[in-house]
Chains A and B, each alone.
Chain A
Amino acid sequence: MASLSSHNTLKDITLNDVSVGYDKCAVVQGASFTLLEGQIGCLLGPSGCGKSTLLRAIAGFEPLMSGEILLDDELISNHQQMISPEHRHIGMVFQDIALFPHLTIGQNIAFGLGEWSKGDAQRRVAYLLDLVGLSGFEQRYPHSLSGGQQQRVALARAIAPQPKLLLMDEPFSGLDAKLREELVPDIREILKHEKMSAILVTHDQMEAFAMADQISVMDAGKIHQTGSSYQIYHRPETRFVASFIGHGDFLPAKVCGADCVHSDLGTIRGKLNHGFADNTEVELLVRPDDILHDNDSEFMGVIVSKWFRGSHFLYRVKLASGKIVYCFVSSHHNHSMGEKIGLSVNLDHLVMFPK
């Protein structure tokens, strides 16, 4: 097939400035990212941010308003043409699992293997059942399986025809917390073992951190930042990413040099992300783990609330300025409400946004 693409570097899936929408109202605007072969990507964002719509566009269920999607350097969608879903070789796993209730587990997994020889298909089904830990379930029907088992079958069904890419739309949100904790690492291991490129959609950052090599944070139809979990947590590029990922507070601060700011918690030195001019009023991101309990510190705060979290306490501490910040303290230090504790800041990278 003739490729309409001008790109020639080897990469698995590329979105260039993709907009998707209904009736001229764009649900996703200008989304771009590239996911390398064998990597697991994630679209992370609050509900209604357009992440599922973008996934459906990649699968071929939504036409594009503009931009293009390339798979293995071949164009699969732009605003004029698209390859229909059944010809894309893209597998998909759904939130509501969507196993076919009239078929056995074995028939479900073999569903996409229509063109394989019977023997090959049988071997593939047996291999996948073993891979997802459900050997012996081949003759059972979906309704007799638990939610977690059904989701494993759905995964096996989706990767059976060896798709070029696997899409997963909130695959764990229908399962309870305990099951999710077991299933997430299992599925990551299976995907890595099969060297399967995959894109996961979720609103749960812990799930994203546990599964993905590369996370794209979305809000209101736009991708704010694409990077590793470390990058989006520690080097958020927009205020939305900074506040959506993890706990965080914004401290008012003033730039006092290339690597230094004044704040309620004193003068802080670190590597600057952005070149703000001196004396610019900014907001400095502080994570609970950036603030240390330090009895020698001159900066004091009053504990206004606390949660016991096993290995540590999460305190909310009111500073002299009235600003309240989160702070992790080892659970050996059991302070009571209203008590004053000393605080210091330990920041490597200063993450700041203009006020």
Chain B
Amino acid sequence: MSDATLSLVKKAKFNWLKAVSISIAAILALPIFVVLVNLFIGDGEVWLHLYRTVLVDYVTNSLLLMLGVGVGVLCIGVPCAWLTSMCQFPGRKFLSWALLLPMAVPAYIIAYTYTGILDFAGPVQSFIRDLTGLSYGEYWFFEVRSLGGAIVMLTLVLYPYVYLMSRAAFLEQSENTLEVSRTLGYSSRAAFFKLALPLARPAIITGLTLALMETLADYGTVQYFSVSTFTTGILRTFYGFGDIAAASQLAGMLLLFVAVLILLERYSRHRIRYHGSGMKKASHRRIELKRGAALLVSVFCLLPILFGFMIPAAVLAYWAMFKAELPGASFLQLAWNSFYLAALAALIAVALALVLSYAVRLNKSRSVSISVSIAGLGYALPGTIIAIGTIVPLAWLDHRIIELVKEYTEGRVGLLFSGTLVALLFAYTVRFMAVSLGAVQNGLGKIKPSMDMAGRSLGLSPYKVLTRIHIPLLKSSVLTAILIVFVDVLKELPATLVLRPFNFNTLAVRAFELASDERLIDAAPASLMIVLVGLAPVILLSRSISSPIEHSK
């Protein structure tokens, strides 16, 4: 034992990891805190004014939008999930992962694309006019840029949330449960409505709430379609009238809507655990469909993919390659801005997630686990809320700094935080912390504490345990986390729009601006780039849904 050294037992020294994680949580909670405070301390006059003028409109439109999208995603998501998990028909394997593809398309991009296809000057209406000889006003064609249009666009890209969650629930239902119901005299149709559907309900509701949160958060689509909702209202009040107080109050109001959804989501997640049988079923026989029915089902499952991904992606590709007028140099500059911003944000979010995850692993204290849940709250918040919650405190801080510098020196400083990338990176971190935390914690959870102990008892120092066991095992989850945050940042529109430094453009912002100027075709290259990059996490996801359960069969 010559190499062994007795070391003093370490007695309660200052716990850096704990202190750091609590600070991270406190800083990340700042935007929510600011918005909440504004909601409660706001003066009555602003309220009254908002109420008299726009509030009713915002609330009605937001509710209608949620209602429409809710019905839409359920009608597409649940049947597709049930059919691909329970029935056998041609193309089932392909369709079961391809149904996720529309997730890669941000709602605002699909909205621009369909507007380009379906509006007056678009190919569809031109074709109708050529065919019939009618001209403007002499025939009826539905207006894409409307509340109804927004509902369809959002439904087409958000149904995968419901599909994903309910598919997992259907696959997990033990065949025994369904067989028991048959022996108790239920037909298979009755078994579906009395058993399979109620068992999957918590999962379906979870998927639905996720889709509705995205609906509430959407800015690009509703703004472009001129539908007045909370998000457009917040930015209009903020930009148009420069009224930060009113904007914050609207944001706070939106926060209440979101809070209801979060509670609903938490509750149904809890029920999933309650309902889950926990048993992995050994085998799973699918219902063989007759020829005609099988064909019908294949077509039914193909339609959402066709309209949600294939058509818009094909049209974008065509425009981008043959029609768009966007100088290559400026496109490269946009792509570079987007990529380095997204990469930087991803690295920050994942680094913080690593710190928080290790703090939880190494401290069993309640304060740490609460900090981590607070740090993850941002995932539910619309980018507009985070933008307002970021700009208000940072602008305040900047002005204090400017005053201080003025008072003590002759020098002048500009806006250090609010007008720079710092604000943007901060907002991204708040919004996407939960995503990276989820992926990192998932990976860390697979390294059992006994592996640390095994390493130590085989002669590794704590540092070597990190380099030889943790890093190799964590690598893939950390890369996944970086990828997901990267793509989410790339797609993010409203927060980028509000917080970007002057004259700093990203792909998403430029696509939005060009579309707003009715240059839909010129927006195509940027849009296509976002969709293509967005495919990466979807492919990861589709691999993970098709591998563990299906391969064991």
Contact = CB atoms under 8 A, between A and B. Distances in A.
A89 B9 contact: no
Interface in A98-148: 98, 100-102, 111-112, 114
B461 to A, nearest CB: 6
Contacts of A72: 1
A248 B1 CA distance: 46
A310 to B, nearest CB: 31
B240 interface: no
Interface in B1-56: 1-9
A64 B6 CA distance: 14
B461 A86 contact: yes
A82 interface: yes
B459 A161 contact: yes
Contact of B9 (A81, A101, A154): A81
A158 to B, nearest CB: 7
**A interface bracket (residues with beta carbon within 8 Å of B):** 35 or more
A57 to B, nearest CB: 12
B4 A82 contact: no
Interface in A163-199: 163, 167
A63 interface: yes
B450 A88 contact: no
A162 to B, nearest CB: 12
A82 B6 contact: yes
B1 A85 contact: no
A87 interface: yes
A90 B5 CA distance: 15
A157 interface: yes
Given A79-B9, A83-B6, A157 B454 contact: yes
A161 B458 contact: yes
A89 B458 CA distance: 8
A86 B6 contact: no
B456 A86 contact: yes
Contacts of B5: 1, 83, 87
B451 interface: yes
A286 B49 CA distance: 88
B238 to A, nearest CB: 50
A102 B472 contact: yes
Interface string B212-234: 00000000000000000000000
Contacts of A86: 456-461
Nearest to B451: A98
B7 A88 contact: no
Given A91-B458, A98-B450, A81 B473 contact: no
A74 B457 contact: no
Interface in B452-511: 453-461, 469, 472-473
Given A59-B453, A102-B472, A161-B458, A96 B2 contact: no
Contact of A100 (B7, B451, B456): B451
A270 B271 CA distance: 62
B4 A92 contact: no
Given A111-B458, A112-B458, A87 B453 contact: no
A94 B449 CA distance: 10
B189 interface: no
B448 interface: yes
B1 A158 contact: no
A1 B2 contact: yes
Contact of A158 (B8, B457, B472): B457
Contact of A89 (B1, B446, B456, B472): B1
A80 interface: yes
Contacts of B469: 100
Contacts of A82: 6-7, 9
A80 B4 CA distance: 16
Interface core residue of A61, A85, A111, A157 (most chain B CB under 10 Å): A85
A87 B3 contact: yes
Contact of A94 (B9, B454, B460, B461): B454
B1 A92 contact: no
B4 to A, nearest CB: 4
Contact of A96 (B4, B448, B473): B448
Contact of B473 (A76, A90, A101, A111): A101
Contact of B459 (A64, A76, A94, A114): A114
A257 to B, nearest CB: 55
A111 B448 CA distance: 17
B9 A91 contact: no
Nearest to B476: A102
B548 to A, nearest CB: 12
A92 B457 contact: yes
Contact of B7 (A84, A98, A101, A161): A84
A59 B455 CA distance: 12
14 contacts: A1-B2, A64-B9, A72-B1, A79-B9, A80-B8, A82-B6, A84-B7, A92-B457, A94-B453, A98-B448, A98-B454, A100-B451, A112-B458, A112-B459
Interface of B: 1-9, 446, 448, 450-451, 453-461, 469, 472-473
5 A-B pairs closest in CB distance: A112-B458, A87-B4, A98-B450, A94-B450, A85-B456
Given A90-B457, A98-B453, 16 more contacts: A56-B453, A61-B453, A76-B4, A81-B6, A81-B8, A81-B9, A82-B9, A85-B456, A85-B457, A86-B458, A86-B459, A89-B1, A98-B450, A101-B473, A158-B454, A158-B458
